[in-house]
Amino acid sequence: MIELNGRGYRKPELPTVVICVDGFDPAYVERGIADGILPTIAGFARDGWLGTAEAAMPTFTNPNNVSIVTGAPPAVHGIAGNYYLDRETGREIMITDDRLMRSATILGLMSQAGVKVAAVTAKDKLRRMLGHGLDGVCFSSECAATEIEAMVGRTRPDMYSADLSLFALDAGLRLFASGAAELLYLSLSDFIQHGHAPGEAAADSFHRGLDERVARFVEMGAVVALTADHGMNDKPQVIFLEDELSAWFGLGAARVICPITDPFVRHHGALGSFVRVYARVDHDIPAMMAATMALPGVAGVYDRATAAKRFELPYDLEADFVVLGDAATAIGAAGTEHDLSGLAGHLLRSHGGEGEQLVPFMLSRPLSGEYRLRAQTRRLRNFDIFDYALYGAV
Amino acid sequence: MIELNGRGYRKPELPTVVICVDGFDPAYVERGIADGILPTIAGFARDGWLGTAEAAMPTFTNPNNVSIVTGAPPAVHGIAGNYYLDRETGREIMITDDRLMRSATILGLMSQAGVKVAAVTAKDKLRRMLGHGLDGVCFSSECAATEIEAMVGRTRPDMYSADLSLFALDAGLRLFASGAAELLYLSLSDFIQHGHAPGEAAADSFHRGLDERVARFVEMGAVVALTADHGMNDKPQVIFLEDELSAWFGLGAARVICPITDPFVRHHGALGSFVRVYARVDHDIPAMMAATMALPGVAGVYDRATAAKRFELPYDLEADFVVLGDAATAIGAAGTEHDLSGLAGHLLRSHGGEGEQLVPFMLSRPLSGEYRLRAQTRRLRNFDIFDYALYGAV
């Protein structure tokens, strides 16, 4: 038994795998089950549990993966984006390691308690965070070493490929089969979801591949739990907020930070539906907020304290104000900072706002009476998934 | 088959009853099932459907009852509160009839299509709205006529009593048993929930009475669907916002309207978690909003356009700005306008904000594959309930 952030977790009685399917909007599940793309997951809906949960805000990869492995919101664990502005130095920093993490992880504590733990991630940027305190196996598809390639039986995939995720799943299957892991966390990439809506051939093909691998975990006797870090929506409208603020308040009056920014932006051009704004002079903040609120497609504007409270974010890392786009609107900094050529003719699909907060939450086995009742009467969070996987399944 | 607000509804194949249990927070369901208070509803969770849905905002009785019977948010049907300020005349008006309704109702259209429809409400204030266009039976417990008292077998209850709701349920049972209704809508009162948290004796007793009557509808062969207009939370903190605004901006600088206000306020003193603010001079609005936002317990402040868009409210009826309290905070106008003596020592429990948006959503029969899948992958609304009751149950 370990304890973390106010919850207890028992050691896995059965081999347990928790999969964070990046960008797995519930619309993929609905359509995929209806179209026969997800037969194993359709079985969960019948014999285990299929429902929805709310992701942590902002609905980006880093905050949500760290929430999942800590069972807590960003206010507790300190990771509020992929990219941030350091208030002290004024420098903009990509978060690619665990230096800002303020919480231990379930994975780390379980490994220290003698459980064989492994974490495999598609993107290397998450590896150091997921590996925080982890005394076990932890690697990424993106930077898989030769021995990992040998284990999986193929060379590591291109970082912009569906196989980046499937490789992580295959690596997890091998680790499981060899007995190297009793508790496994797999975190995939949303490369496919950024480019392909439910029902598109590439999305169907990827999700079929996911479902097949999930079936293999089930066949091996594992408890399988799936959730997502965020959903995904078409974003036909883009607001370049730093340009707007420059036009109204003068060049350089505000810096807009897009926390979706990561080393890996070709599929979304660093455009999401949640940005942080830092004003050069505090005095302008209320007027900037009011002007921003009036822009069509803006779903909400929150000052620093309200944003921190409402979205359970660390106040000390929060901007002067945050701006959310609606389901159809992405928000950028200056137009010149966003390279959309990588979309290659695709419509922009992205995430970050409240429109992408609903994610699937599913288990391969039936829930206990208590956990089932809770799932039927409460709003679950995606970061309840380890609790449900370790305690909830019977 | 009828059509309303973009949805089709087929005539009931089986007798169908939809019950809006006023203030039925999902916490009552969770605790009630665990404690054996709700055996019939526990059966729904097993053999039918039990889940949650989101109420319309603000989470008050009128907007949500009208949403339920129109299958649409307030932006469509025009009822955005129980009480409002008329911008043209400056008068404050209690909404007790259907003059502001901008939509037909499912009940009305069904009755016009030859279905035997009845609507019974605990509180009379809802009767005229629910009876809008209804060619059938429609009455309230509060003002039940002699022949209704004879039918139910007891005199009409006190308006501040648990029996106000049980009387409505009993009347519905009689109407059903006599064949006077094939489609029945029952809307209860939240008198008990305002005063009693889950697990308290009065709450248990009331919910036991509810469950027994639900069982009788099931025994009579009805499809039974239950949802709520809003949840309910303890509100230990109260902000008298008009007093605050007067202190900052001068006496009379703003009028705060509490849309929870109704003819029936003893149990909550007209204090809820959503108020509308009208400024005397437009120029003060941004500063008023900023000052309000800084008050502890305020969960959100939205200008007129944002509020209308975010909460799907009619823009023309919206205030200069709206203010939401958090789950633990009620917001009033001036302290002198709120009489809390009726609480009789109870802690204030109320609703109106986003903290009371989650409500139960349940059916006595299993859902069809399509509806089940939708319920497992989408955020349902309480006003989906007629669709589910008439189409979703198999």
What CATH number is attached to the domain comprising A108? 3.40.720.10
Contact (Cβ atoms closer than 8 angstroms) between residue B317 and residue B84: yes
A40 neighbors A17 (Cβ within 8 angstroms) = no
- H-helix or E-strand spanning residue B13: none
Separation between Cα atoms, residue A214 and residue A329, nearest integer Å: 33
Question: How many structural domains compose chain A?
Answer: 2
Backbone φ and ψ of A260, nearest 5°: -80, -20
- Whether residues A362 and A225 share a domain: the answer is yes
pLDDT at position A113 over 90: yes
Substitution target from A292, A371, A376, A380 for chain B, most B beta carbons within 10 A:
A376
Alpha carbon A326 to its chain's center: 19
The predicted pLDDT at position B231 comes to: 98
Identify whether residues B289 and B177 lie together within a single domain.
no
The pLDDT assigned to A263 comes to 73
Which residues of chain B make contact with A51, given a CB cutoff of 8 A? 51, 376
In DSSP terms, B392 is beta-bridged to: none
d(CA B358, CA B372): 19
Chain B residue with CA closest to A380: the answer is: B52
| Dihedral Cα A349, A350, A355, A356, nearest 10 deg | 110
> Which CATH number do you get for residue B328?
3.30.1360.110
What does B239-271 look like in DSSP terms, one character per residue?
EEHHHHHHHHH-TTSEEEE-TT--S--TTTTT-
pLDDT of residue A40: 98
Min distance A339 CA to chain B CA atoms (Å): 30
What DSSP state is assigned to residue A163?
A: H
Whether A18 and A68 have beta carbons less than 8 Å apart is answered as yes
Mean pLDDT calculated for residue range A383-393: 95
Tell me, yes or no, whether A20 and A160 share the same domain.
yes
- Confidence tier at A339 by pLDDT (50, 70, 90): confident
What is the residue whose two structure tokens read 């109702």?
Answer: B105
Q: Are residues A283 and A364 in the same domain?
A: no
Whether B83 and B223 share a structural domain? yes
Judged by CB atoms within 8 Å, which residues 122-161 of A form the interface with B?
none
Q: Report yes or no: A287 at the B interface, CB cutoff 8 Å.
A: yes
- Shortest Cα distance, chain B CAs vs residue A300, angstroms: 8
A29 CB neighbours in chain B (<8 A) are 376-377
Q: What is the pLDDT of residue B388?
A: 98
- pLDDT value for B306: 87
Q: What is the pLDDT of residue A44?
A: 98
B100 and B32 housed in the same domain? yes
pLDDT value at A269 more than 90 = no
Same domain, B260 and B338: yes
Instruction: Determine the residue among B295, B367, B370, B377 to mutate to test chain A binding: the one whose Cβ has the most chain A Cβ atoms within 10 Å.
Output: B377
The residues that bridge with B121 in the sheet, in sequence order, are B140, B187
Is B300 within 8 Å of chain A by CB?
Answer: yes
Residue among B47, B46, B56 nearest B227 (CA): B56
Cβ–Cβ below 8 Å for A45 and B300: no
Report the alpha-carbon distance of residue A215 to residue A309 in Å, rounded.
Answer: 40
Task: Give the tokens for residue B116.
Answer: 């035997």
In this prediction, residue B371 carries a pLDDT of 97
Say which of B50, B300, B303 has its CB closest to residue A376.
Answer: B50
Average pLDDT over residues A43-51: 97
What proportion of chain A, given as a percentage, has pLDDT over 90? 88
Nearest to A376 among B45, B293, B294 (CB): B45
Asked whether residue A208 falls in the same domain as residue A264, the answer is no
Round to the nearest angstrom and report the end-to-end CA distance of chain B. Answer: 18
Position B340 scores a pLDDT of 82
Quick one: pLDDT at residue A215? 98
- What's the average model confidence in pLDDT over A112-128? 96
The crossing angle, in degrees rounded to 10, of helices B285-293 and A285-293 is 110
Phi then psi for residue A297, to 5 deg, are 100, -15
Assign A291 a pLDDT band (cuts: 50, 70, 90): very high
Neighbour-count burial for A218-243, b at 16+ CB within 10 Å, e otherwise: beeebbbbbbbbbbbbebeebbbbbb
Beta strands A183-187 and A16-20, pairing class: parallel
Q: Cβ of B227 under 8 Å from any chain A Cβ?
A: no
Q: Is the CB of A51 less than 8 angstroms away from the CB of B376?
A: yes
Whether the CB of B303 is below 8 Å from some CB of chain A: the reply is: yes
CA–CA gap between residue B324 and residue B355 (Å, rounded)? 10
Please list, in sequence order, all residues whose beta carbon lies within 8 angstroms of the beta carbon of residue A85, skipping any fewer than 6 positions away. Answer: A91, A92, A93, A255, A257, A276, A278, A319
Average pLDDT over residues A219-228: 97
Using CA atoms, how far apart are residues A316 and A305, in angstroms rounded to an integer?
10
The residue that leads in pLDDT, A342 or B349, is B349
Q: How confident is the model over A129-174, as pLDDT tens digits?
A: 999 999 999 999 999 999 999 999 999 999 889 999 999 999 999 9
- A298 shares its domain with A196: no
In sequence order, what are the residues at sequence separation of 6 or more whose Cβ sits closer than 8 angstroms to the Cβ of residue A84?
A92, A93, A95, A257, A259, A276, A317
**What is the reported pLDDT for A343?**
77
Poorest-confidence range of A339-353, A365-379, B119-133? A339-353
Give just the sign of the alpha carbon dihedral B75, B117, B191, B380. Answer: negative
Q: What is the pLDDT of residues A54-72, one digit of tens each?
A: 999 999 999 999 999 999 9
State the DSSP H helix or E strand holding residue B154, giving kind and residue range, or none if neither: none
CB atoms within 10 A of CB A344: 9
**Option in B30, B372, B376 nearest A377 (CB):** B30
Quick check: helix, strand or coil at residue A205? helix
Whole-angstrom Cα distance, residue A63 to residue A79?
Answer: 5
| Together in a domain, A146 and A258 | no
Chain A, nearest residue to B290 by Cα: A286
Share of chain A above pLDDT 70, in %: 100
Q: Looking up tokens 């203030």, which residue turns up?
A: B23
Together in a domain, A173 and A211: yes
Q: Which domain holds residue A284?
A: 235-350
CB atoms within 10 A of CB A283: 9
Question: A287-297 burial string, b = 16+ CB within 10 Å, else e?
Answer: ebbebbbeeeb
For residue B314, is the peptide bond before it cis, meaning its omega torsion is within 30 degrees of 0? no
* Whether pLDDT at A94 is above 80: yes
Q: Are residues B324 and B197 in the same domain?
A: no
Q: What is the pLDDT along chain B (394 residues), one digit of tens a residue?
A: 999 999 999 999 999 999 999 999 999 999 999 999 999 999 999 999 999 999 999 999 999 999 999 999 999 999 999 899 998 999 999 998 999 999 999 999 999 999 999 999 999 989 999 999 999 999 999 999 999 999 999 999 998 899 999 999 999 999 999 999 999 999 999 999 999 999 999 999 999 999 999 999 999 999 999 999 999 999 999 999 999 999 999 999 999 999 998 877 777 889 999 999 999 999 999 899 989 988 999 998 998 988 998 999 999 999 999 999 999 999 999 999 888 887 777 789 999 999 999 999 999 999 999 999 999 999 999 999 999 999 988 8
Helix (H) or strand (E) holding A304: helix A304-310
Q: What is the pLDDT at residue A346?
A: 79
